[in-house]
């Protein structure tokens, strides 16, 4: 069996062209006793080639993983007097998780109000930062986890591509 190393969409086009030819040229159909076997073989070729070639999601994840590892190398980083970035991790298919510590006595403050203000400021940063444009094009989801100084989880918020694109488009 001939295996052609191509991108999955190219194989699909080849398969469609071949099936079209088989439909209208009876002599080719005679070569295959069972058309279902041919279709199964063609699908197998496509699935094998798809496994050998990295998918778009795999490429995005690989890029995000490298970015997260690079950012984490310099962690922990004191962001300001009350915030420290502990690390950054990437998750499939396209999520970056930032883990922060709040460096104040969190029992003395209303964390819900703080969370909403922080979320609003973070969304603004995500949509306006020139460095975030690459992540926008990859449709990255940003997840922010906050813990206290002893490592106890406090809250999380997520900024989805729909949110920052909606905000970017509404300003135009």
Residue-wise pLDDT for 22-50, tens only, equals 454 444 444 444 444 545 555 545 444 44
pLDDT tens per residue across span 56-86: 778 999 999 999 999 999 999 999 999 999 9
Whether 8 shows a pLDDT value over 90: the answer reads no
Whether 1 shows a pLDDT value over 60: the answer reads no
Max alpha carbon distance in the chain (Å)?
A: 83
Report CA-CA distances (Å) from 106 to 77, 97, 117, 121. 20, 22, 15, 19
Whether 167 shows a pLDDT value over 90: the answer reads no
What is the reported pLDDT for 57? 79
State how far the Cα of 61 lies from the Cα of 72, in Å rounded to an integer: 16
Q: Is 75 helix (H, G, I), strand (E, B) or coil?
A: coil
Average pLDDT, the chain: 77
State how far the Cα of 37 lies from the Cα of 71, in Å rounded to an integer: 50
Element (H, E) at 18: helix 8-24
CB-based contact 102:145 (threshold 8 Å): no
For residue 74, the Cα-to-chain-centroid distance in whole angstroms is 23
CB-based contact 109:96 (threshold 8 Å): no
CB-based contact 135:160 (threshold 8 Å): no
């Amino acid at each position: 069996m001939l295996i052609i190393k191509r991108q999955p969409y190219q194989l699909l086009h080849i398969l469609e062209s071949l099936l079209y030819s088989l439909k209208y040229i009876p002599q080719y159909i005679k070569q295959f006793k069972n058309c279902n076997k041919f279709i199964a073989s063609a699908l197998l070729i496509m699935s094998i080639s798809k496994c050998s070639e990295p998918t778009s999601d795999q490429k995005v994840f690989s890029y995000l993983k490298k970015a997260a590892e690079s950012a984490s190398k310099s962690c922990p980083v004191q962001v300001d007097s009350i915030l420290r970035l502990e690390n950054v991790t990437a998750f499939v298919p396209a999520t970056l998780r930032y883990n922060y510590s709040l460096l104040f006595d969190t029992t003395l403050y209303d964390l819900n109000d703080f969370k909403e203000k922080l979320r609003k400021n973070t969304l603004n940063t995500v949509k306006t930062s020139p460095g975030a444009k690459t992540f926008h094009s990859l449709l990255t989801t940003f997840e922010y986890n906050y813990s206290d100084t002893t490592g106890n989880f406090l809250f999380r918020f997520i900024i989805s591509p729909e949110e920052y694109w909606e905000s970017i488009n509404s300003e135009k």
